[in-house]
Each structure stands twice: as C-alpha cells, then as structure tokens.
Amino acid sequence: MTNILVTGGAGYIGSHACKALARSGYTPITYDNLSTGWQDAVKFGPFEQGDLRDRARLDDVFAAYKPAAVMHFAALSQVGEAMAQPGKYWSNNVAGSLALIEAAVAAGCMRFVFSSTCATYGEHDNVVLDENTPQHPLNAYGASKRAIEDILRDFEAAHGLNHVIFRYFNVAGADPETEVGEFHQPETHLVPLLLDAIDGKREGLTVFGTDYDTPDGTCIRDYVHVCDLVDAHILGLNWLEQDNGSRVFNLGTGFGFSVMDVIEKSRTVTNRAVPFTIGPRRAGDCTRLVSGSTRAEKELGWSPKMSTLETMIGDAWRWHQTGSYQK
C-alpha cells in the first residue's frame, strides 16, 4: 500500500483525512506533536510523534516510510491567539512548514497537498470569494498560511514540487460512524460550542451582533462537512498522481447559513433548547463570507454531498454524545 505522510493527523480534519485515505487504499502515517491533537484519534495507520521544526526527526520519518505524498494539516489556527502572539504563528506555522517542505524535497517526495484557509483573503464583505480574489490577511494566522502558499510556489519553481492548495471555509460535522470527531481545548467553533451549551457543558452561547445586513441580522458563513472536505483532499492527491500540475482550489458550498440558522437547526436536530444570549459585534466579523468553489467542481469533480446543516449538526451531535479524546 502507498504511504501518505499526514501532518496534524491527530487533529480534527487530519484524523478524518486519515480515515478517508485508509478507505481509499492508502496507509496514512500521522505525524503530530499532540499540542492540539489527540493520540486517541490516530486509528487508521502508524503514529509518529514529532514537531514540524525538528528537521532530523522529519528526515527519519521520510526515510522510514518513504511516503509518496504529504498532506499537511498541522498548524496553529486560533485567530485571537494569532493577533496576540504573532511570533508563535510565524514560528510554528511558517518555520515548521518550511522544514517539512525541505525534508520532503530532500527525500524526493514531490507531491504535496496543503490545508490553507479563506483567512488568506482577509476582509471582502458580501463578496463570493474565488481563487482569484486578492489575498490581504488580517492576522498572523491568515498571513502564515499565505506565506506557506508562497513557499510552495518557490519550491515548485526551484525543485519541481507539485502541490495542491485547498482554501476552505467553516468546517463542521463529524465522521458518521463516530470513530473520530471534533474536540478542541479550548473550543472556539460554533457547532461544538452550541452542542456544549445544549448539553449543559457551558452556560450558553453568545451571539455576537444581530444588526448585520442579513435576513435575521446575524453573520452568514459557508459551512462544509468535514467528510466532504477530506474527500476533496483525496481528489487532490489523485490530481497530483495524474501529473496535472499545481493548483489552488476553494472548498465551500457556495451558499451560507446565519448564526441563527445554525441555532435553530441545532434545536430541531437535538430536540433540545439552545441557551444563548445576544452580545455586541466582534471587531473584524464580516457580514457574509461565502466560497466560490466552481473550480473544484469542474476540475476535480468535487461536490459537497453531506454539507447540509441537518447532516453536519446531526453527525456532530452523535459524536458529541460518545465522549471525548484523552491525552
């Protein structure tokens, strides 16, 4: 079986990617330092603990497994933390990714799938974002991801490193079979925060602003099911295996749901009340962020099949009830 090195494979999206890889006939090799990931989530292939900035450790892993490609998910991703501690993000995300890319090229592993983000675009309020939208990130998280995209392009020009970059929007949901799911400490994502509030694990949810120019006054975001998302990564890997060249793809549904939409659907899916309060707007929150993903559909043949609110919340709720990972 073909080995694929999955950095951040013990995290939310990475663990789902490992399951998708195993289901597709690959052997995922998880490389993770467990700073935000969970060893309990590593269920579909070997686990190697290590930091991205440890070049010697990376070289050993490449030599041991000889992966045919890298799927790179490992990153710090909290916007508030990135605003307060930018150096941490440049060190972990950029320096770590550079070490990984250099190790891959040195090992002759010339196919690279990178998990980027719509945060590289910055603030383009009420615009459907496509791959050609100008990138003006507002914080060190988005800036670090854009920098890694630039590094990949430079290494393609210098060394022939073929890569696929995925910029995606709000990821939600969980494995329908509840083998892996979403669990962060601290939690910052809307759906698990809602489910914690419904389940009494937190006092309630705060809705930040109800005076936006939307039908119900709350912000609208594009949500994509994590299983749809990782299916795109398998297609991206296939794209590289077919020598189609390097490419950037947005991953989203092309439409959005408001915060109140998510709250109401959570109530109907769980059949429980959703405790929430109204708070003031947060600085930097755009009214509407929606992805234009027609390139992924036309060129990769990708279309989100599970990205309805009912499915995303229902799968997340089933996972939520199974418990949590342990360090």
Q: What DSSP line would sit under 191-229, residue for residue?
A: HHHHHHHHTTSSS-EEEE-S-SSSTTSS-EE-EEEHHHH
Give which of 43, 67, 49, 44 is closest to 8, Cα–Cα. Answer: 49
At 241-262, the pLDDT tens digits run 999 999 999 999 988 899 999 9
> Side chain identity at 302, as an amino acid letter?
W
Q: Which residues contact 95 (CB under 8 A, 6 or more apart)?
A: 52, 53
Q: How confident is the model at residue 326 (pLDDT cuts 50, 70, 90)?
A: low
Question: Residues 141, 168, 212, 223: which is the catalytic one?
Answer: 141
Distance of CA 85 to the CA centre of its chain: 21
> What was the pLDDT predicted at 284?
64
Between CA 263 and CA 201 the distance in angstroms is: 16
Dihedral angle at the C-alpha atoms of 228, 18, 70, 223, nearest 10 degrees?
A: 30
Q: Which residues contact 53 (CB under 8 A, 6 or more apart)?
A: 91, 92, 95, 96, 99
In this structure, is the dihedral angle defined by the CA atoms of residues 106, 110, 111 and 116, taken in order, positive or negative? positive
More confident residue, 283 or 211: 211
Bridge partners (DSSP) listed for residue 5 = 29, 70
Mean pLDDT, the chain, integer: 91
More confident residue, 130 or 111: 111
Strands (E), the chain: 2-7, 26-32, 47-49, 69-72, 111-117, 127-129, 162-168, 170-172, 205-208, 220-221, 223-225, 247-251, 257-258, 276-279, 288-291
At 37-73, the pLDDT tens digits run 899 999 999 999 999 999 999 999 999 999 999 999 9
At 180-210, the pLDDT tens digits run 998 888 878 889 889 988 988 888 888 999 9
Does the pLDDT of residue 13 top 90, yes or no?
yes
Of 103-107, 218-222, 318-322, which has the strongest mean pLDDT? 103-107
Domains of the chain: 2-172+223-251 (3.40.50.720), 190-222+254-320 (3.90.25.10)
Cis peptide upstream of residue 186 (ω within 30 degrees of 0): yes
Q: Is position 141 annotated as part of the catalytic site?
A: yes
More confident residue, 128 or 199: 199
Joined tokens for residue 37:
């990931």
Distance of CA 298 to the CA centre of its chain: 22
Lowest mean pLDDT among 20-24, 126-130, 263-267: 126-130
Lowest mean pLDDT among 93-97, 157-161, 189-193: 189-193
Helix 12-23 vs helix 226-241: angle between axes, to the nearest 10 degrees?
A: 60
pTM of the full structure: 0.93
More confident residue, 23 or 168: 23
